[in-house]
Amino acid sequence: MRRRDKGKVTHDRCSGRSQLLNGTLQLLYGIIFNPGNGWTIWAFVPFNSIFVLHRCGYSVVALPTESIFNSMKAKKKIIIVGATGTMGKYLAAAFEKEHDVIRVGTTGGDFQVDITSTGSIERLFQKTGSFDALICTAGPTYVGPWKNMTDKEFRKGLEGKLMGQINLVLIGQHYVNPKGSFTLITGALTYEPVINFANASAANGAVEGFVRAAAIELENDVRINAVSPTVIENSPQYFPFFQDIPVTMKQLEYGFRKSVFGANTGQVIKPYWESR
Ligand SMILES: NC(=O)c1ccc[n+]([C@@H]2O[C@H](COP(=O)([O-])OP(=O)(O)OC[C@H]3O[C@@H](n4cnc5c(N)ncnc54)[C@H](OP(=O)(O)O)[C@@H]3O)[C@@H](O)[C@H]2O)c1
């Protein structure tokens, strides 16, 4: 708009010129890519779109990329229960570069919870308020010789890894934002038993069943998945029990990324290549 104020007109002209320059520079960001198979791909930043054109010149596809990239980049409020443990510490450090991470442990972290207590979980969410994603890497189980196992030992995994995680979802569903997500922890022991770990195998299998069922019940486009690694790189104390190539911490991170930032739901994500 033309202004009477002389100084202002000058200012508007300058900003108009800089906008034009900016637009021209943006046009230069466009890419024309010929993969050599008869197709040419054009991508232009100002249009925020990807156009795929055939050689003879007609348009085949136009994708609006801006909304896709923006939804991937949007800052999320992520609660990590188990954030003081081996997995949780690594994930919290990785995700806090781009998102608001709330660390939760039993004694450390920003907030404390005992996932074996529904009252404690309710109090946690009252303090944190609503959230976009909940990651749980807390899954206490009994590890020890089979002949020492009684009902008491077995209940450690049932009340901890199983009901603890289920209650995080049952209570957390009233605090999670629309299009939010839950990511629970299981492990390869579900299908590959190892001596001394029967309690974890049973809890994992039940959590995975819960994840598939919850995915078809959760409302408001809320998603839920489980991440199921084998022994991880940062837990060498478990190497003697698992005759497996350890999952690297990067693989583990990307398993969780797939759940938190992807579109999948009801899945058990195995963050390693399966040869079988
Ligand atoms: N490590 C592996 O190689 C591996 C491989 C596959 C699957 N997994 C599974 O992954 C899970 C995490 O493994 P990790 O190695 O990261 O374990 P970790 O180092 O022992 O950490 C456990 C975390 O859970 C928290 N926690 C324990 N009991 C809790 C409770 N009742 N309420 C709330 N939080 C509780 C701990 O908090 P505090 O420290 O504050 O007590 C800690 O933050 C386990 O369920 C494990 O079975 C582990």
Neighbouring-strand partners of residue 39: 54
What pLDDT, on a 0 to 100 scale, did the predictor assign at position 20?
A: 36
What pLDDT, on a 0 to 100 scale, did the predictor assign at position 67?
A: 54
Give the pLDDT of the chain (276 residues) as one tens digit per residue.
Answer: 333 333 333 333 333 333 333 333 444 445 565 666 666 665 554 445 555 555 555 555 555 555 555 555 699 999 999 999 999 999 999 999 999 999 999 999 999 999 999 999 999 999 999 999 999 999 999 999 999 999 999 999 999 999 999 999 999 999 999 999 999 999 999 999 999 999 999 999 999 999 999 999 999 999 999 999 999 999 999 999 998 899 999 999 999 999 999 999 999 999 987 654
Is CATH 3.40.50.720 what the domain over 74-269 is classified as, yes or no? yes
> 17-70 pLDDT, tens per residue?
333 333 334 444 455 656 666 666 655 544 455 555 555 555 555 555 555 555
* 270 SS3 class: coil
What pLDDT, on a 0 to 100 scale, did the predictor assign at position 268?
A: 98
What token pair was written down for 150?
């009684």
**Distance of CA 65 from the midpoint of ligand 1 (Å):** 38
**Distance of CA 255 from the midpoint of ligand 1 (Å):** 17
Gap between the terminal Cα atoms of the chain: 67
**Distance of CA 185 from the midpoint of ligand 1 (Å):** 9
Which atom of ligand 1 lies nearest, measured to the CA of 138?
24
What amino acid occupies position 84?
T
What pLDDT, on a 0 to 100 scale, did the predictor assign at position 23?
A: 37
Determine the Cα–Cα distance for residues 188 and 274; give it in Å rounded to an integer: 11
**Distance of CA 207 from the midpoint of ligand 1 (Å):** 15
With 0-12 / 13-18 / 19 or more C-beta atoms within 10 angstroms meaning exposed / middle / buried, residue 10 is: exposed
What pLDDT, on a 0 to 100 scale, did the predictor assign at position 12?
A: 32
The residue to which tokens 């054109």 are assigned: 53
Could you tell me if 149 and 143 are in contact, meaning their C-beta atoms sit under 8 angstroms apart? no
What pLDDT, on a 0 to 100 scale, did the predictor assign at position 273?
A: 74
The domain ranges of the chain are: 6-69, 74-269
Q: Where are the beta strands (DSSP E) in 106-222?
A: 111-112, 131-136, 176-185
**DSSP notation for 67-102:** HHHHHHH---EEEEETTTSHHHHHHHHHHTTTSEEE
What pLDDT, on a 0 to 100 scale, did the predictor assign at position 93?
A: 98
- Which pTM does this prediction carry? 0.80
**Distance of CA 139 from the midpoint of ligand 1 (Å):** 5
Determine the Cα–Cα distance for residues 119 and 124; give it in Å rounded to an integer: 9
- Which residues have CB under 6 Å of ligand 1? 81-88, 105-108, 113-116, 137-141, 160-161, 164, 185, 187, 200, 229, 231-232, 235, 238
Q: Which residues contact 120 (CB under 8 A, 6 or more apart)?
A: 113, 114
Mutate to test the pocket of ligand 1, among 79, 80, 84 (most ligand atoms within 8 A of CB): 84
Q: Whose CA is nearest to atom 15 of ligand 1?
A: 86
Alpha helices in 151-274 (DSSP H): 151-157, 163-172, 198-215, 249-261
**Distance of CA 254 from the midpoint of ligand 1 (Å):** 18
